[in-house]
A and B are shown apart, each in its own frame.
Chain A
Amino acid sequence: MTPPGERLGPWLARALAAKACRIERWAKLGGGAIQENWAIDVTIEGGPRAGALALVLRTDAPSGVAASHSRVHEYALLAAAHGAGVTVPEPLAVCVDPGVIGKPFYVMRRAEGTAAGHILTRDDKWHGDRIALVARLGEELARIHSIRPPRDDLSFLEIPSQPPAEAAIAEYRAALDGYDQPRPALEWGLAWLAANAPPTRELVLCHRDYRTGNYMADAIGLTAILDWEFAGWGDPYEDIAWFCAKCWRFGVNAREAGGMADRETFFRGYERVAGRSIDRTAVYYWEVMAHARWTTIALMQGWRHVSGAERSLDLALTGRRVAELEYELLRMTAPAPRAREA
């Protein structure tokens, strides 16, 4: 996006039921190869939101592939989460008219703080009370999972036709079939997952990337749950386990809930809001799944570099993380020892 043009202010004024909207400052935010984020400070005249407002405008990056509806869907997800009481940046308005900035976009309130995992797990000044933050993150996840199908506002999300675990295993095996090297370690993990799948008792809205690194906190505590682009209907244990999986603790392994606190604190927060207890065995299963998923993603990211599709040192090094992910996957799925002969 070129800097917001003269049409954005009047459009925002209309969308926010204001008399006028003056753009005071705008700056492109870092990160995101598929999305583009702009910090925009505006002054609103008249209407329910009169005064200064700090916004983020989110749109597709120039290289984004035919994803003209995805930002609209993301807005719907954010609105559904906001409606369920989840701490997300308040979604304010969505625009599909290409005449305003040249492509669809939405605006939301700007959350403050940091999302950087290596900072949050190591520097206590960023989040107030770490234990309280993790309990809160458990509560927030339960609120996300209170969103259930069917929902007219989320009708673009496909309702899975097979159990979520089965679907995930099939997806990762298909990815492996398209890969040019045999990966017996990942196959081992997937075979264990196929043999040990617990039933999915309920379908809920899963965030699908709920982890340290994807929420923002400031000196007081949580300010926003971010990155909703993978959300979909699924098994709630997928999110619970993804948050606790060793691969998302940023090296602070003793704090099993996202490198931030013990997992029971997280579970208790979830249980308090969900009103039902967490099956620890199911969490273990889905933690194995988390490692299988991350291994598959890391293989594919490494392949993007190796194949020449996108040469990048970051992708190349992500490809090299496969070793520790496969190692963990194998450690979690040891076969039963040989029964002692009578």
Chain B
Amino acid sequence: MRDRPDRDALLAIARETLLKDLLPQIAAEHRMTVLMVARALEIVGREIVAGDAADMAFAAGVAAVYERALPCEAAAFDVLARRLAVDIRADALTPDRKRAVHVLLLAEARARVALGNPRYLDAE
């Protein structure tokens, strides 16, 4: 049985304490640093909740572009991503593949923004 509060709740109360209890007492020249710490905690919190779903979707997408089976090891995924980078630079993708790759990269980047800075997407 897991102890409680769970990791998400523990992280949330740590961030809340930092912003609500500590920040008002921090000297002006250190406030930005405290806000950066809070931001880092916020990103990590969202990434814990999201898990590796976005990475898996991207891996599946890259594998599909190359008509390969989905790699189950991170190293194999890295090899595919590297090949994608090399092919993009060499302009070695067919127009259809290019369109598919763009859709894939855009979705992956959007997923990363949603975790790192979701407010950025609010402004769209």
Q: Are B112 and A327 in contact, CB atoms less than 8 angstroms apart? A: yes
Main secondary structure of the interface of B (DSSP, over half): helix
Question: In whole angstroms, how far apart are the Cα atoms of A327 and B120 in the complex?
Answer: 10
Q: Are B99 and A338 in contact, CB atoms less than 8 angstroms apart? A: yes
A-B CB pair tally, cutoff 8 Å: 82
Interface residues on B, range: 20 to 34
Q: Are B113 and A324 in contact, CB atoms less than 8 angstroms apart? A: yes
Q: Does B88 count as interface, using CB distance less than 8 angstroms? A: yes
Q: Are B109 and A185 in contact, CB atoms less than 8 angstroms apart? A: yes
* Inter-chain contacts of B12 with A (CB < 8 A): none
Contact with B along A310-329 (1 / 0, CB 8 A): 00011011001101101100
B113 contacts which of A184, A327, A333 (Cβ < 8 Å)? A327
Question: In whole angstroms, how far apart are the Cα atoms of A334 and B105 in the complex?
Answer: 11
Q: Are A251 and B88 in contact, CB atoms less than 8 angstroms apart? A: no
Question: In whole angstroms, how far apart are the Cα atoms of A163 and B109 in the complex?
Answer: 30
Q: Does B110 count as interface, using CB distance less than 8 angstroms? A: yes
Q: Does B84 count as interface, using CB distance less than 8 angstroms? A: yes
Question: In whole angstroms, how far apart are the Cα atoms of A282 and B113 in the complex?
Answer: 28
Q: Are A335 and B99 in contact, CB atoms less than 8 angstroms apart? A: yes
Q: Does B7 count as interface, using CB distance less than 8 angstroms? A: no
Q: Are A187 and B106 in contact, CB atoms less than 8 angstroms apart? A: no
Q: Are A184 and B88 in contact, CB atoms less than 8 angstroms apart? A: yes
Q: Does B98 count as interface, using CB distance less than 8 angstroms? A: yes
Question: In whole angstroms, how far apart are the Cα atoms of A183 and B33 in the complex?
Answer: 29
A187 contacts which of B37, B88, B112 (Cβ < 8 Å)? B88
B81 contacts which of A184, A195, A316 (Cβ < 8 Å)? A184
Question: In whole angstroms, how far apart are the Cα atoms of A253 and B122 in the complex?
Answer: 12
Q: Are A323 and B36 in contact, CB atoms less than 8 angstroms apart? A: no
Q: Are A330 and B91 in contact, CB atoms less than 8 angstroms apart? A: no
* Inter-chain contacts of B82 with A (CB < 8 A): 182
A313 contacts which of B37, B106, B109, B120 (Cβ < 8 Å)? B37
Question: In whole angstroms, how far apart are the Cα atoms of A251 and B121 in the complex?
Answer: 11
Contacting A at CB under 8 A, from B84-122, are: 84-86, 88-89, 91, 95-96, 98-99, 101-102, 105-106, 108-110, 112-113, 115-117, 120
Question: In whole angstroms, how far apart are the Cα atoms of A183 and B82 in the complex?
Answer: 8
Q: Are B36 and A317 in contact, CB atoms less than 8 angstroms apart? A: yes
Decide yes or no: A188 and B33 within 8 Å by CB, A313-B40, A323-B117 being known contacts: no
Q: Does B16 count as interface, using CB distance less than 8 angstroms? A: no
* Inter-chain contacts of A195 with B (CB < 8 A): 91
Question: In whole angstroms, how far apart are the Cα atoms of A278 and B99 in the complex?
Answer: 31
Question: In whole angstroms, how far apart are the Cα atoms of A324 and B91 in the complex?
Answer: 24
Decide yes or no: A323 and B112 within 8 Å by CB, A184-B105, A335-B98 being known contacts: yes
Q: From B100, which residue of chain A is reached at the shortest CB distance?
A: A335
Q: Are A188 and B88 in contact, CB atoms less than 8 angstroms apart? A: yes
Q: Does B27 count as interface, using CB distance less than 8 angstroms? A: no
13 contacts between A and B (CB under 8 A): A181-B78, A184-B85, A187-B89, A188-B102, A195-B91, A313-B33, A320-B117, A326-B112, A327-B113, A330-B102, A330-B105, A330-B106, A334-B106
Q: Beyond A191-B89, A323-B115, A335-B99: 11 further Cβ-contacts under 8 Å?
A: A182-B81, A182-B86, A184-B101, A190-B89, A191-B91, A324-B117, A327-B110, A327-B113, A331-B106, A334-B106, A335-B98
